[in-house]
Amino acid sequence: MNSELVIDVQNLNKRFGDKHVVRDFSLQVRRGEIFGFLGPNGSGKTTSIRMLCGLLTPDSGSGTCLGYDVIRETAAIKREVGYMTQRFSLWEDLTIRENLDFVARMYGMPRRGQIVDQAIAQLGLTARKDQLSGSLSGGWKQRLSLAACMLHHPKLLLLDEPTAGVDPKARRDFWDEIHALAATGISVLVSTHYMDEAERCHRLAYIAYGAVLSRGTVDEVVAAQHLSTWLVSGPDLPELEARLRGTPDISQVTPFGSTLHVVGVDAAALDAAIAPFRADERYQWQRSHATLEDVFIHLMESAPDNFQ
């Protein structure tokens, strides 16, 4: 992967009134990289994305996006970034083609008819080009939004929870398209709540209440938390789950099909905590590995809430 940094920002901060929404945010994203944002609602992901693409001005900090200063050259950044919002933001009373033509006009693009036709064909929208956008399913609205983002051939895509509310097949198709775009050198910054999507990113950052708590590849983020995990199976798991939840040094107990996923932050303490339960021969215990979801829950529960 090319080591050229398309995003390189340090210590960005943003306040709204007395709320410190983004705190000392630093990020580096390389060309052709898919970088994932994880974090609970209200964690500052959207505000961070908007600062990077020039829609919000940081209160402090410095850095560049696509080589442009994130404070002084926001107009230049906007011309080379594609931003897809959480909610469908195109015009529901226009057809697919009319929406894309309108976006192309806003960018002042020459030969816009040809460009719009190419975008429609590339994302498989030809058969639906005259359909009103408001009548589209979530998955087709998603495709249209992506087509609108890509019309001006951006070098960077900023995607804010782009697959919320769409079915698994549409989500998989969308991510296949994102990886195809990244293979051409386009960089992608995407926020998501779906663990399977996060695992398809090259690198991740976990953000909670305005601060980055962890970053790296999926394996690096999971390993950094040093969580210890056991799987247990056997009869009457709801009753066992209730007993385990009330035991010190057990931080998470989660049902997964016919097993319970038991997690602790200290391996020795967790082993001691479950020892009395392992003595019950009705249950089978097996060491396991922490998942990204385990880490997500652990970081969310341990992060201080700056809104309280």
pLDDT at position 258: 92
Instruction: Tell me whether residue 114 is in a domain.
Output: no
CATH of the domain at 61: 3.40.50.300
Instruction: Tell me whether residue 168 is in a domain.
Output: no
Whether 22 and 37 share a structural domain = yes
- Note whether 132 and 95 are within 8 A (CB): yes
Whether 55 and 7 share a structural domain = yes
pLDDT at position 146: 85
Instruction: Tell me whether residue 113 is in a domain.
Output: no
Instruction: Tell me whether residue 245 is in a domain.
Output: yes
pLDDT at position 173: 86
CATH of the domain at 260: 3.30.70.250
pLDDT at position 1: 41
Instruction: Tell me whether residue 143 is in a domain.
Output: no
Q: Residue 148 is encoded by which pair of tokens?
A: 């609108």
- Note whether 274 and 262 are within 8 A (CB): yes
Q: Residue 50 is encoded by which pair of tokens?
A: 């908007």
pLDDT at position 308: 43
pLDDT at position 135: 86
Whether 219 and 231 share a structural domain = no
Whether 211 and 254 share a structural domain = no
**CA dihedral sign of residues 87, 93, 96, 98:** negative
Whether 213 and 235 share a structural domain = no
How crowded is the C-beta side of 158, counted as CA atoms within 13 Å?
23
Q: Which of 225, 252, 277 is the last residue of a domain?
A: 225
Whether 278 and 237 share a structural domain = yes
Whether 204 and 248 share a structural domain = no
pLDDT at position 2: 42
Instruction: Tell me whether residue 221 is in a domain.
Output: yes
Whether 277 and 210 share a structural domain = no
Whether 217 and 281 share a structural domain = no
**pLDDT, one tens digit for every residue, the chain (308 residues):** 445 899 999 999 999 998 899 999 999 999 999 999 988 888 888 899 889 888 899 999 999 999 999 999 999 998 899 988 777 778 888 998 998 998 888 888 888 888 998 888 887 888 888 989 888 887 788 888 888 888 888 999 998 888 877 788 888 888 998 999 999 999 999 988 888 889 999 999 998 888 888 999 999 999 999 999 999 999 999 999 999 998 999 999 999 889 999 999 999 999 999 999 999 999 999 999 999 999 988 888 776 554 44
pLDDT at position 304: 59
The domain of 24 spans 1-80+156-161+187-225
- Note whether 5 and 33 are within 8 A (CB): no
Q: Which of 170, 199, 225 is the last residue of a domain?
A: 225
User: CA nearest 155: which of 54, 52, 79, 47?
Assistant: 79
Strands 211-216, 203-208: parallel, antiparallel or unpaired by DSSP? antiparallel
Strand order in the sheet with 156-160: 81-84, 156-160, 187-191, 34-38, 203-208, 211-216
Instruction: Tell me whether residue 32 is in a domain.
Output: yes
Instruction: Tell me whether residue 86 is in a domain.
Output: no
Dump the DSSP string for the chain.
Answer: ----EEEEEEEEEEEETTEEEEEEEEEEEETT-EEEEE--TTSSHHHHHHHHTTSS--SEEEEEETTEETTT-HHHHHHTEEEE-SS--S-TTSBHHHHHHHHHHHTT-TTHHHHHHHHHHHTT-GGGTTSBGGGS-HHHHHHHHHHHHHTT--SEEEEESTTTT--HHHHHHHHHHHHHHHHTT-EEEEE-S-HHHHTTSSEEEEEETTEEEEEESHHHHHHHTT-EEEEEE-S-HHHHHHHHHTSTT--EEEEETTEEEEEESSHHHHHHHHHHHHTSTT-EEEEE---HHHHHHHHHHHS--TT-
Total count of domains within the chain: 2
**Torsion on CA atoms 93, 95, 96, 98, rounded to nearest 10:** -100
- Distance, CA of 194 to CA of 210 (rounded, Å): 20
